[in-house]
Structure 1
Amino acid sequence: MPPLAEAGLWRAVIAAAAGRCQCRGTCGTTHDKDGGRCPAVHGTYQTRHGRSWVRLLAAPAEPSALLLPAHQAAALPKRELAAWCAHCHDATHRTAANVRQAAAPAAEPDALFDL
């Protein structure tokens, strides 16, 4: 997926987050050991979630907004964006998608096949 924000906006979002993922448990992890906030810091090496370098994303802060099409998410103002590590972003996105799917009305059977 292409970057959500231009470089200047990305830098502003990451700076406002002090270079740290802003997830406070929407990913399904309580982050209790870290004061309730994800400990992932941009540019550091993490041993959790696959041993890799942390690269923070600027993405919608509201979990349900993570489901927006890319062109709508890219138009969000800075105040509606947050810094996310890949693990928290992906887990929160999955949770939001599952909530949306569960809230969707059940599909009616196709009348063409009613007997």
Structure 2
Amino acid sequence: MNRVPPLGDGGLWQAVMNAAAGRCQCRGTCGKNHAKDGGRCPHIHGGYAHRHGGGTIHLIAAPTDPAGLLLPPHQAAALPKQRLAAWCPPCHDATRTTARKNQQASAQVAEPDALF
């Protein structure tokens, strides 16, 4: 498996990848149930994506909690490895989009109706 660390803290990234065994840790928060793969995304770091343009999969170490994916980069980078998971780009992007939509929906409910 090709494990080239990112430019940031390669040790932290490597620890997250080791804990994930080099495989995306999404279990359906992206909107797919990953049922054919035991409930977990099948993408592995250095593997090949067969859809959406293909190419080599480069896993990302990002917050485990979907709401955490909305943190500013400097706050996400400060999280300990226990709060990080390995994400493939398609699962990361889909989960982040869903979290953003949920955040916007809850913000709209919390705002009172304006009179004017």
Q: Which interval holds the TM-score relative to the shorter structure?
A: 0.7 to 0.9
Partner of 2:3: none
What is the CA distance between 1:107 and its match in structure 2?
Answer: 6.4
Change (3 A) 1:79 1:4: farther
Normalised by the length of structure 1, the TM-score is 0.88
**Structure having the higher Rg:** 1
Name 1:26's counterpart in structure 2. 29
Gaps of 5+ in 1: none
Gaps of 5+ in 2: 1-5
Q: CA RMSD in A?
A: 1.7
Question: For each residue in 1:38-92, what CA deviation from the matched residue of structure 2 results, as whole angstroms up to 9, or x when unmatched?
Answer: 0000001120333111000000000000001111111100000000000000000
SS at 2:86 equivalent = strand
Cα–Cα, structure 1 residues 108 and 22, in superposed 2: closer, same or farther, change >3 Å?
same
Q: Give the structure 2 partner of residue 80 of structure 1.
A: 83
What is the alpha-carbon distance in structure 1 between the residues aligned to residue 7 and residue 67 of structure 2? 16
Task: Report percent identity of matched pairs.
Answer: 61
Supply the AA of the counterpart residue of 2:84.
L
Which structure 2 residues correspond to residues 1-115 of structure 1 after superposition, within 5 A? 6-104=9-107, 105-106=110-111, 108-109=113-114, 114=116
Distance in 2 between residues matched to 1:23 and 1:87, nearest whole Å: 10
Aligned pair count reads 109
CA contact (8 A) 1:14 1:58 kept: yes
In 1, Cα distance between equivalents of 2:51 and 2:37: 13
CA distance in 2, matches of 1:53, 1:107: 47
- Structure 1 segments of 4+ aligned residues over 2 angstroms from their partners: 105-109
